[in-house]
Amino acid sequence: MSITDLAHAIGSQVKADLRPHLVGTGLLGFIFVPAVFVLAARQLGDEAVSPATGGTYMIASIIAVIGALIAMSVMSEMYAERMAGTLLRVRILPNGPLIWSVGKTLTTTVVMLGTQILIFIAARIFLFDFDIPTSRLLLGLAIALLVILACAPLGFVLGSLIRGTYTNLLGTLVFVAVMITSGTFFPLEVLPRWVQLIHQVLPFYWAGHLARATLLGGEAAFEPIGEYMPVLATGILLAWLVIGFGLAVIVIRRSFRNETISTLSGMQAKIRSQVGIS
């Protein structure tokens, strides 16, 4: 397959994946997420969280949540498409796994970057104390893109491991817990030390840290490390990007080799038994 044919196939995959997000309930969901975050920021009002108000602090930190959402989205979609037999059909196509994985990455990148843009626009309109300059917001979008690409491989790796309803639910709950405790909705320093240490290994805290350093600046009174370290944060995110995609390539190849009619039938039968359908 030529590069042109490969690019055309990936483009078709992206269009097919984007369509559900842009029509009907998918479009409502696309708007719903930014609306929830901005409403939550409004509820924080003028509560001081140095170096900004609570609402502005939350909007600046929301990039960490976007990172967790893209990993969770990739994981859940990979599981759903496995159970529907889509991955099995992809496996037999020429360069199918490559086209599928690149297309999925581009789709989730577009959706999550669009979500971040809507959040910034809504914050500008509805948060009266949101006075971050446009130049910084544009830099924030570049950070969001880095965060999305750093977190997407984690979704592929976990999605390759999930083979049942309960493990999918457990993975979702873990991501929700990570989002809540990532330092977006309240400073990370209020959590136990062991939770802080876990987050300082993951990309999500560093995503919010880099965003706060770029968008807010000023003091870093509520950062566990006591200061902004944008170079370190960027390095950690780049490490997750490079190592993550390197690992994801290996895991995805192995996962697609395991996609067979017998394994699919076994997983579907197990789910039917779990919900009481014989």
* Each residue's pLDDT tens digit, 119-171: 888 888 887 677 778 888 899 899 989 998 998 999 899 888 887 788 888 88
Answer whether 150's CB lies under 8 Å from 130's CB: no
d(CA 11, CA 213): 35
Over the range 218-230, which residues count as b (16 or more CB within 10 Å of their CB) and which as e?
A: eebebbbeeebbe
Report helix angle 96-126 to 3-22, nearest 10.
Answer: 40
Rounded to whole angstroms, the Cα distance separating 212 from 56 reads 10
pLDDT band at 239 (very low <50, low <70, confident <90, very high): very high
C-alpha 247/C-alpha 253 separation (Å) is 10
Q: In sequence order, what are the beta bridge partners of 48?
A: 53
The tokens of 188 are what?
A: 């990370």
Cis peptide before 203 (omega within 30 of 0): no
Smallest CA-to-CA distance from 209 within 196, 228, 231, 181 is with 228
- Segment 19-42, tens digit of pLDDT: 887 777 777 877 888 888 888 777
CA atoms within 13 A on the CB side of 157: 14
- What's the confidence (pLDDT) of residue 2? 75
Mean pLDDT for all residues in the chain: 82
Q: How far apart are CA 126 and CA 132, in angstroms?
A: 13
User: Which helix (H) or strand (E) covers residue 127, if one does?
Assistant: none
pLDDT at 65 over 60: yes
Report yes or no: 90 and 256 within 8 Å, Cβ to Cβ: yes
Mean pLDDT score, 235-250: 92
